[in-house]
Amino acid sequence: MRSLPPEGAPGGSGRPRAAGTRTIESRMANAIRMLAVDAVEKAKSGHPGAPMGMAEIAVALWHRHLKHNPANPHWADRDRFVLSNGHGSMLIYALLHLTGYDLPMAELQAFRQLHSKTPGHPEVGVTPGVETTTGPLGQGFANAVGMALAERRLAADFNRDGHTIVDHFTWVFLGDGCLMEGVAQEAASLAGTLRLSKLIALYDDNGISIDGHVEGWFADDTPARFEALGWHVIRAVDGHDVEAVDAAITVAKAQAVRADGKPTLICCKTVIGQGSPNKAGTHDVHGAALGAAEVAATREALGWTAAPFELPDDVAAAWNAREAGVARERTWQLRFDSYRSAHPAEAAEFERRMAGNLPTDWCQRVMAAFEGAAKTDNVATRKASQQALDALAPGLPEVFGGSADLTGSNLTNFKGCTLAGRDRPGNHLSYGVREFGMAALMNGMALHGGLIPYGGTFLTFSDYSRNAVRMAALMKQRVIHVFTHDSIGLGEDGPTHQSVEHIPSLRLIPQLDVWRPADALETAVAWAQALERRDGPSALCLSRQNLPSLGNDAARAADVQRGGYVLADAPDGGPPQAVIIGTGSETQLAVKAQQQLTAEGIRVRVVSMPSTSVFDRQDAAYQDAVLPPDLPAVAVEAAHPDLWRKYVGRRGAVVGIASFGESAPAPALYAHFGITADAVVQAVKRVLR
């Protein structure tokens, strides 16, 4: 195997290799092709075209440039690699197996089978070496932008003169489909503006998508578009020439370290399904097995005599990168040990942040935030959110915030935060009107490690970012979405901005914790829980309108952490006759309804339910203690009512809104749609009949 460049050097030389090198690399590319062909054929399902077409591109990057260690997929300073065109998953599976990751040939043979480590699209946490889950096109590219942003931020935080411990590239493979998706445009625009020069994308320009040749629906001048977005573009590279791709990568890496460096798009012209005599260059090879006859013809055309799922010894040896990877990490570790000697506090902080641990004084900060929130009355929960950030964020340097052009409304900035930009590392970014891109970038930052990202927009615009929210949940990433203006309570902006179905819809996403706090204390608890959570994302749905405090006892915070709790039991101490469940801004209506019913001699319990998912994770005994199964219940929320029926049952009722809103002041809207304390009172009386 060729000698490796020294740490910090640009990488491949771009010099022509000897004929023997070219020959072995040609066979290395064919190994990728045939592993993809054989796995898809065995599964009778998959996408062989992209792996076959990108094989030489993969050789150029993975064999000559990529800084990684197959023996330790989590090495902090490894290059990040993203296969954005995730349908070509056999490309990355082949590369991971060939270079020595813990992905044995048996897993490639089990491609797309139940519980294998080779699912239909790459999934982080399932396959060693996969950095992000891809499949929804364009999002992997946007994740890569987030990873590059995280690398820049961490380099600014930790690198010191003479001690560089954060210094890696982010690589992304993408195709025409990724570039057609709007999220890629959002992310590319921001990457160019921020000049994320250590981001290098290799574009598989094969001109084919599922429906056929793309010129009928995708005629963009992609190189010109990316140049206009502020990217360095290398045009018209022969994607089947390892030397040409290597030279382009070398140029990209060299310009990346200049002061005026830009992200790079390398446009590689390829033939989809290269190597298939009868299907190459057609959409037939995009998403279907070649068939036995064409597999045999491909083997013959490539001169590949090895049996399915077998590799020639020289090809396997040429691909094996374990020894080189261990050496790379060892070299970095020596540099880090030197860094630790010179900067022990910074080294410990780096290790803490990359491990995802919170600082040792976290509990004290949380308690201070709870105590401050308990004294706060008559404040919108979006403002209470900012106050919680004021208390919590200064002690969390890993927090990276932002907003989709709504900072003054979402209130995602906090005391002492600094604006991130092209020449400023910062910890708060104005993403512009790019909700989907923002959410996908946050996923990339979380996946990279070392940062806890959060970002804000209006709740109704969660529709724009929804698939990235879903992907964060699927990947179990610590990402926090701040969704403000959460109901008809935002008032005059009208139904286009008033969320009705959004909160119930978000609650349906598995592994997403949706918090809708009712006052400042519940908001502070929601923030603390979201920051502490390591196994999934959280969404904080916050009010525009001011809300009263529901109690100034900070000890209530322990109850709030359980997602649902008894806020106020029957005042006379007697057994309640019914339960009223409130959430968010409508919890105050539940309290007012209880007061009216008490005056009429009807005993009711008020339960505050800021997070249904957290409440659902409590044990059955606790749930039954809060919501006794034998008591009728009424739920109240200014949102679509259907989800609440699982809590109120057939005997219960829901006071909600199943239509779109109107443009009017908030009090008029609540009265118009019948979301009032009087309506709750009448609903309780009905369920008690």
Residues belonging to the binding site are 47, 87, 135-137, 176-177, 206, 208, 286, 382, 409, 461, 485, 493, 497, 544
Does residue 639 contact residue 541 with C-beta atoms inside 8 Å? no
By CB neighbour count within 10 A (0-12 exposed, 13-18 middle, 19+ buried), where does 317 fall?
exposed
Collapse the DSSP code of 525 into the 3-class scheme (helix H, G, I; strand E, B; otherwise coil) and give the result. helix
Binding residues for substrate: 47, 286, 382, 409, 485, 493, 497, 544
In angstroms, the CA 149 to CA 462 distance is 23
Secondary structure (3-state) at 278 = coil
Cα 495 to Cα 502: distance, rounded to the nearest angstrom: 12
Q: Which two tokens stand for residue 50?
A: 């992209």
Query: Binding-site residues for Mg(2+), please?
Result: 176, 206, 208
The dihedral built from the CA positions of residue 131, 136, 141 and 145, taken in this order, carries a sign that is negative
N-term to C-term CA, the chain: 82
CA neighbor of 65 nearest in space, from 11, 25, 8, 124: 11
Closest CA to 583 of 626, 660, 639: 639
DSSP code of residue 674: T
- DSSP one-letter string for 580-645: EEE-GGGHHHHHHHHHHHHHTT--EEEEE-S-HHHHHTS-HHHHHHHS-TTS-EEEE-SS-SGGGH
Neighbours of 422 (CB within 10 A): 10
Q: How many CB atoms lie within 10 A of CB 363?
A: 11
Residue 8: Cβ-neighbour burial (10 angstroms; 0-12, 13-18, 19+): exposed
Q: Which of these is catalytic: 56, 151, 294, 435?
A: 435
Residue with tokens 């919170």: 358
Q: State yes or no: is 435 an active-site residue.
A: yes
Rounded Cα–Cα distance for residues 439 and 431 (Å): 10
Please give the order of strands across the beta sheet that includes 633-636: 565-568, 604-608, 578-582, 633-636, 653-655
CA pair distance 125, 131, nearest whole angstrom: 8
DSSP string, 290-333: --HHHHHHHHHHHT--SPTT---HHHHHHH--HHHHHHHHHHHH
- The Cα–Cα gap between 339 and 350 comes to 11
Instruction: Give the bridge partners for 213, in sequence order.
Output: 208
Q: What is the DSSP letter of 664?
A: S
Q: Measure the CA angle with vertex 505, ends 501 and 511; round to 5°.
A: 155
Binding-site residues for thiamine diphosphate sit at 87, 135-137, 177, 206, 286, 461
527/522 Cα distance (integer angstroms): 9
Alpha-carbon dihedral sign for residues 200, 206, 207, 213:
negative
Q: What is the CA radius of gyration of the chain?
A: 28
| Local structure of 402: helix, strand or coil | strand
With 0-12 / 13-18 / 19 or more C-beta atoms within 10 angstroms meaning exposed / middle / buried, residue 650 is exposed
DSSP label at residue 392: H
Tokens of 312: 């020639």
The DSSP letter of residue 59 is: I
Report, as residue numbers or ranges, the catalytic residues.
435
